[in-house]
Amino acid sequence: MTSTSIAMLLLLGLFFGLLLIRVPVAFALAIPTFITAMYLDIPAMVITQQMVRGISSFSLLAIPFFIVSGEIMGQGGISSRLIKFADVIVGRMRGGLAMVNVVASMFFGGISGSAVADTSSIGPVLIPMMKEKGYDTDYAVNVTIASSVQGIIIPPSHNMIIYSVVAGGVSIGNLFLAGILPGVFLGIMLMVISYAIAVKRNYPKGEGYSIKEALTITRESILGLMTAVIIIVGVTTGWFTATESAAIAAIWAFFVTFFIYKEIKISRMKNILAKSLRTLAMVMALIATSSAFAWMMAYLRIPTIITETLLSISESKIFILLIINLILLLLGMIMDMAPLILIATPILLPVVTMAGMDPVQFGIVLMLNLGIGLITPPVGSVLFVGCSIGGISMERTMRSLMPFYITMIITLLALTFIPSLTLLIPRLFGV
Amino acid sequence: MKRFLDLFNSFLEKIGMLFLLLMLLIVSTQVFARLTIKTTPIWSQEVATMLMVWFGFLGMAIGVNEKIHIAITFFTDRLPVIWKRMIFTIDEFLILFFGIAIVWYGSRLVYATRTSTLPATQWPAYMPYLMVPIAGAMIVLCTLINIADLIKFDSKDRLQKWGFNDDKH
Amino acid sequence: SEEAAVDTPDETPAATETITMRLAEVHAEGYSTTMGNREFARLVEERTDGRIKIEVYPGGVLGDEKSVTEQVQFGALDFARVSLAPVTEFEPSLNVLMLPYLYKDGDHMFRILNGDIGNQLLANLEENGIVGLAWYDGGARNFYNTQREIKSPEDMRGLQIRVQETRLMMDLITALGASPVPLPFGDVYSALQTGVIDGAENNWPSYDSTGHYEVAKYFTVDEHIRIPEILMTNTKVMESLSAEDQEIIRQAAREAGEYQRTLWLQSEEESKQKVIDAGSVITYLESNEEFQEAVMPLYETHGAGYGDIIEAIINTN
Ligand code: NA
Ligand code: NA
């Protein structure tokens, strides 16, 4: 065996081994990288250098700001208003609260890029409400977690920023525009399946609002939704960079929460910053260490080898794209989103580009694919959060989750094989 | 010692929050300056990015102390307590190795980049790397205390970090 | 101990042993610098009868230019091809080569680089553990904008020009009376399109490949700055090789540089033709004297201490 193959085995074998014994993912990435560098006698300074490089990018600076604004909105009453607004629109349908859940997630997706944040701020309001109105708990959790995945696809999304950076500068504006249609499409698909189940299980309709109430709710929630508008308009017109728009959004959310809604005191900012700090500690560590891991993979030419292997199996574009989706779904079952974007992008982007897929389209396909991973066992952060909010076991949630998986996979295939679903809006804007 | 660690940790968190606010301030100033006086401070992107690097490594250390880094618990959850305790101790030793590695290689990186500069501020190029050995030292400290906790197995509140609760031991 | 001191024959590298070395490149496959590197690798392998094999890593997979320069410096990588700009952060005296309106033309620059001045500056670089092997061409940078033809610094007044976030570029734009706006490279197109900025600056091939010509049609050939590319290795890597192999590597690098320059000039011509056909308005300056005068203060600040080199460059034909 050559030293390169031993190094590859060390790197990948140790990585999966450490994951199994509960070493945090960030360190399960970094430790094998250090050991491989020592084995190959490469100055291991390069590993620390790459960890720093990984988070040393002005574009990635958008992530802290998005997370802070998400936290402000979650704690400060913007998300509860979005739920009411959704209720005004779709509450009176059969299975009304399920529809509200999906639509609220579409709105929330427009201000946060985090599926976990969506489930943890919409779930505690809607899951108990649904239970009270006679919905089964498993269904309430299913709808909540499945629809939360929209937040990653509907712009803005910090995961798209990570992708844009690792993909070598795919335009963030284009990615944001490309996510709109698929996000709405996914929402409609989820509403269809939720409605079908609601009819079958005979869930109730909502009660509706008077015109006056409806107007008040709309007016108030629009202030919150403005955050999304600021970011998307700012980024796609080029007035602001993604980082700048994220900063402005955070300031806007701060302003709306503390000077207009005034539901929480300004002293809560300490709590908001502390919670953001915890989320960020996790995300930034993952980005740093997976950059080092990705460097080592590139050094060992693993991406090239995988590309050549995949292309040698079959020349069929359809087959290659299906295989790639399958690989990502399987990896998504055991790994979290940010490290997978960082590791899979350099490996798979060259393959899909050779198969004729646009990097922007691949970005969105990747987002949905890994988003599905957030609600699949054994490792699915959104699934865990949803189950704990609903107070039911993962096994029970899983039993009725199948129709939602199927719906999402159909959406995934549509995004993979119909380029215009993603590329239509960016092209309309001519960028 | 543990009291010191808790104090130290809350101090680190305060610094982290300060960095977060500073980044926000710098970037907002940059946009504001560009839209009003039509120019931007030359140092803003470089300084904000450097703060994020510092923030990232600081967060990495805080995460080790507070066990907020995500890990796959699916397999270890199914093991008896005695196995868990052994495996978690091994994990801490592995993270200790990581801490030592970034102290050592981080310091060497600081040393190796002492002669070059950053493009905009002209500060020494080691500035962004400074936090690496510092974070490493904090990780070493935290993991040593964690290891002591796992071996002694008596401090209830600290053992909760691994999900050990009373009835299981 | 006694035994350890005995001079045991170490495993002397057998003449037939092959060494694999790695070369980092930020540009994609097919770009002139990448093709230059491939030519370098081919020549070295051929002339060492396959003893030294050089693997090229294109597309920036091992890091950006600053990062791979550091990697060469501390020995994680054997070679890198980078722009001179990040290298000046390691050896400030190289800054003098990037002063605005310094060269008469590209040939003039290459005479300087390949002459005594260039060799002296590269020797300075070796104190940082980096050996410069050859110069590649990166062309001249020119201004382009959405507003008007630029014929004199007067026409630049008030324009917001995107630059890289470096002191030299920011000072240059300010000296010419325009406002520098540092923006990430990927945001420039839409910023030009929406009027957030009025212009930017780059070489011909980038003006073409980024599509900026579609939104900013006024292109002025002022050639304000020439930033050559440099193929580099590490001093220890060179010292580990026999004198004969070192010479092979130096010679192969020089030839690869010439090959790259031919390709570069071709790509400049192709891009020029393409943007003209697409309707860009190209302005050639009758003289760049006014521009030169406007940037004189930069010679004081950025060329401080290197007055004699500057003079020597200007006096070289
Ligand atoms: Na979103
Ligand atoms: Na939801």
Q: Please spell the DSSP secondary structure of C244-258, one letter per residue.
A: HHHHHHHHHHHHHHH
Q: Which amino acid is at C265?
A: L
Q: With an 8 Å Cβ cutoff, are A237 and C76 in contact?
A: no
The mean pLDDT value of chain C amounts to 89
Q: Which amino acid is at B150?
A: L
ipTM for the predicted complex? 0.86
Beta bridge partners of B124: B117
CB pairs under 8 A between B and C: 43
Sequence spans of domains, chain B: 2-168
- pLDDT value of position C6: 42
Averaged pLDDT, C254-263: 96
Q: With an 8 Å Cβ cutoff, are C181 and B115 in contact?
A: no
Q: With an 8 Å Cβ cutoff, are B59 and A285 in contact?
A: yes
User: CA A58: distance to chain centroid?
Assistant: 21
Q: Which of C70, C164, C180 sits opposite B39 (nearest CB)?
A: C180
Q: Which of B42, B46, B115 sits opposite C90 (nearest CB)?
A: B115
Phi and psi based region of residue A134 (left: phi greater than 0; alpha: psi -120 to 50; beta: remaining): left
Instruction: Give the chains touching A; criterion: ≥3 Cβ pairs < 8 Å.
Output: B, C
Tell me, yes or no, if B39 comes closer than 8 A to chain C by beta carbon: yes
SS3 category, C230: strand
User: What residues sit around ligand 1, an ion, with C-beta below 5 angstroms?
Assistant: A 109, 113, 151, 154, 157
Tell me, yes or no, if C124 comes closer than 8 A to chain B by beta carbon: no
SS3 category, C26: coil
Q: Chain C partners of A50 at a C-beta cutoff of 8 Å?
A: 63, 67
Q: Which of A42, A169, A301 sits opposite C76 (nearest CB)?
A: A42
User: CA A244: distance to chain centroid?
Assistant: 21
Q: Is the pLDDT of residue C3 over 50?
A: no
- pLDDT value of position A431: 53
Average pLDDT of adjacent 10-residue blocks, chain A of 431 residues: 90 93 92 96 94 88 86 81 87 88 87 82 88 91 94 89 84 89 95 94 86 88 82 78 85 89 88 90 88 91 85 86 92 83 87 90 96 87 88 87 95 96 86 53
- Among all bound ligands, the one having the nearest atom to the CA of A69 is 1
pLDDT, one tens digit per residue, over C58-115 is 988 898 888 999 999 989 999 999 999 889 888 888 989 999 999 999 999 999 999 9
- pLDDT value of position B43: 85
> How far A289 CA lies from chain C's nearest CA (Å)?
14
Beta bridge partners of C277: none
Q: Best interface-test mutation with A: which of C65, C66, C71 has the largest number of A CBs within 10 A?
A: C71
Distance CA C179, CA C192 (A): 14
Between A186 and C184, the more confident residue is A186
Tell which C residues from 84 to 113 touch B, by Cβ distance under 8 Å.
85-86, 89-90, 92
pLDDT, one tens digit per residue, over B50-60 is 999 999 999 99
Task: Give A368 Cα–ligand 1 centroid separation in angstroms.
Answer: 12
- Helices A172-200 & A137-148, crossing angle to 10 degrees? 160
Task: Give A33 Cα–ligand 2 centroid separation in angstroms.
Answer: 38
Tell which B residues from 89 to 148 touch C, by Cβ distance under 8 Å.
109, 112-113, 115-120, 122, 125
Q: What is the 3-state secondary structure (H, E, C) of chain A?
A: CCHHHHHHHHHHHHHHHHHHCCCCHHHHHHHHHHHHHHHHCCCCHHHHHHHHHHHCCCHHHHHHHHHHHHHHHHHCCHHHHHHHHHHHHHCCCECHHHHHHHHHHHHHHCCCCCHHHHHHHHHHHHHHHHHHCCCCHHHHHHHHHHHHCHHHHCCCCHHHHHHHHHCCCCCHHHHHHHHHHHHHHHHHHHHHHHHHHHHHCCCCECCCCCHHHHHHHHHHHHHHHHHHHHHHHHHHHCCCCHHHHHHHHHHHHHHHHHHHHCCCCCCHHHHHHHHHHHHHHHHHHHHHHHHHHHHHHHHCCHHHHHHHHHHHHCCCHHHHHHHHHHHHHHHHHHCCHHHHHHHHHHHHHHHHHHCCCCHHHHHHHHHHHHHHHCCCCCCCHHHHHHHHHHCCCHHHHHHCCHHHHHHHHHHHHHHHHCHHHHHHHHHHCCC
Structure tokens at C82: 């980078």
- pLDDT value of position C305: 87
- pLDDT value of position A307: 81
The gap between the terminal CA atoms of chain B, to the nearest Å, is 24
> How far B1 CA lies from chain A's nearest CA (Å)?
23
Q: Which of C57, C75, C187 sits opposite A241 (nearest CB)?
A: C187
> How far C164 CA lies from chain A's nearest CA (Å)?
13
Which letter does DSSP use for residue B114 in this model?
Answer: T
User: CA C42: distance to chain centroid?
Assistant: 22
Averaged pLDDT, C133-158: 94
Q: Is the pLDDT of residue C184 over 80?
A: no
Structure tokens at C31: 């770009």
Cα dihedral angle (C255, C260, C263, C268), rounded to 10 degrees? -140
Element (H, E) at C267: helix C243-277
Q: Chain A partners of C60 at a C-beta cutoff of 8 Å?
A: 168
- Tell me the torsion sign for CA atoms A311, A313, A318, A319: negative
Q: Are B142 and B64 in contact (CB under 8 A)?
A: yes
Task: Give A115 Cα–ligand 2 centroid separation in angstroms.
Answer: 9
- Among all bound ligands, the one having the nearest atom to the CA of A119 is 2
Q: Please spell the DSSP secondary structure of C143-156, one letter per residue.
A: EEESS----SGGGG
Task: Give A178 Cα–ligand 2 centroid separation in angstroms.
Answer: 21
**In 10 A of CB B151, how many CB atoms?**
11
Distance CA B18, CA A258 (A): 20
Spatial strand order in the sheet of C79-83: C52-57, C19-25, C79-83, C229-234, C130-136
- pLDDT value of position A430: 63
